[in-house]
Amino acid sequence: MSKFRETAALFLGAIPVFLGYETLKGDEKFYSNILMPVVHSCFSPETAHNLAIKLLSLGLVPKGKTQQFDKLSCKVFGQTFPNPLGIAAGFDKHAEAIDGLNKLGFGFVEVGSITPLPQAGNAKPRVFRLPEDKVVINRYGFNSCGHDVAAARLDKHMKGRIVLGINLGKNKESFDFTKDYTDGVTKLGKYADYIVINVSSPNTPGLRSLQGRQKLQDLCTNVVAVKEGLPNKPSILVKIAPDLTEDDKQDIAHALLQSKVDGLIVSNTTVARPSTLVNSHKSERGGLSGKPLCEVSTKLVADMYKLTDGKLPIIGVGGVWDGKDAYDKIKAGASLVQIYTSLIYEGPPLVGKIKRELNQLLEKDGFINVAEAVGADHK
């Protein structure tokens, strides 16, 4: 991208910062109906993503609705969250924008996936927007700065300001996948409140096979043993795919309980292509995220909650667009919720909107705190 276009884009993105979007009447609609479509028509998905990271890393962030909701404050994995809404992995892949994301009003941030060695990922273009379908398809293939660069960056980040998750991936060419993950815990664990073993991205050949019963149990047992040696003992979570058979789900639940991990993330992107898709990019290879994933991932949250007897906290992610989607995942068994694709289409005001709506729904159903609603569908 030319220097001129980059400067123009930074200026465009910074407009709401200077105006302060709380002063813009109907800011949520302004972003979803005007600003985001303009940005999307000017920039490819990957360029827009890089610009967003740049703005956030420079602190050029529209001041989020700062309203705190007592009902939304919760304790999970021994950590206190001001609210249960986090940014999912894949947005801040290289741990560059943690403070900016904190300012947007998220209750926690997950960075990554980070691989041991730096790698470029797949050839471009590798991200596609399907706006009519409220979908994104990506095949980034773990483009990563690698452990060392991430560690240097995280070293400068003041720990303790926001709950931080670090999502680990494996290198494409690696043969010792266990070492890829255990090295990640050794090198990056001290910066993390929780670590994610990502065995569910569809764009790294063979990765999803690590979800098999014995492989997963062995991998997790090794990772848990390494984390026990760290002074801060971050929680260990496993992120799973939505494309699983009933047997797969039972195997995963067994492996997670046996290996004593602390929780799971449900779910990554899907390789399925719903018949409802209309956009011409619908047949692009890669993982699909967004609206059509919402029901599928909520159902999987419910299944995994039941299969693990509610013993493992779950982060629910997939197609969350509003407070009701988040609430549905919580009632299905999620203790925390993440978003990614909806943020691409709706922009930063979505964070405040989801929190406000979730608070209203909890109020309406008489819950004093969000923690009481976790798994309510099963009671």
Ligand X SMILES: Cc1cc2nc3c(=O)[nH]c(=O)nc-3n(C[C@H](O)[C@H](O)[C@H](O)COP(=O)(O)O)c2cc1C
List the catalytic residues: 201
**Which range in 95-103, 256-264, 286-294, 298-306 contacts ligand X by CB under 6 A?**
286-294
Site for ligand X contains 89 (CB under 6 A): yes
| Helix (H) or strand (E) run with residue 258 in it | helix 246-259
Site for ligand X contains 116 (CB under 6 A): no
Binding ligand X (rule: CB under 6 A), the pick from 236, 320, 326, 334 is 320
Binding ligand X (rule: CB under 6 A), the pick from 171, 269, 298, 359 is 269
- Pairing verdict, β 334-339 and 194-198: unpaired
The 227-246 site mask, x for binding ligand X (CB under 6 A), equals: ------------x-------
Site for ligand X contains 140 (CB under 6 A): yes
* C-alpha 378 chain-centroid distance: 25
Q: Which residue has 């609603």 as its token pair?
A: 373
Site for ligand X contains 113 (CB under 6 A): yes
Site for ligand X contains 290 (CB under 6 A): yes
Q: How far is the CB of 378 from ligand X (least distance, A)?
A: 23
The pair of structure tokens assigned to 175 is 């043969």
Report yes or no: 61 and 69 within 8 Å, Cβ to Cβ. Answer: no
Give the nearest residue (CB) to ligand X: 90
Binding ligand X (rule: CB under 6 A), the pick from 178, 204, 235, 341 is 341
CB closer to ligand X, 267 vs 359? 267
The radius of gyration of the chain from alpha carbons, rounded to an integer in Å, stands at 19
Query: Left if phi > 0, otherwise alpha if psi is -120 to 50, otherwise beta: which for 333?
Result: left
Q: In terms of Cα–Cα distance, which of 337, 313, 329, 330 is closest to 370?
A: 330
> Angle 323-332/293-307 helices, nearest 10 degrees?
20
DSSP type of residue 270: B
The pair of structure tokens assigned to 159 is 């720990």
Q: How far is the CB of 121 from ligand X (least distance, A)?
A: 9
**Which range in 31-39, 65-73, 134-142, 271-279 contacts ligand X by CB under 6 A?**
134-142
| Helix (H) or strand (E) run with residue 219 in it | helix 213-228
Q: Applying CB under 6 A, which residues contact ligand X? A: 88-90, 93, 112-113, 127, 136, 138, 140, 167, 198, 201, 239, 268-269, 289-290, 293, 317-320, 339-342
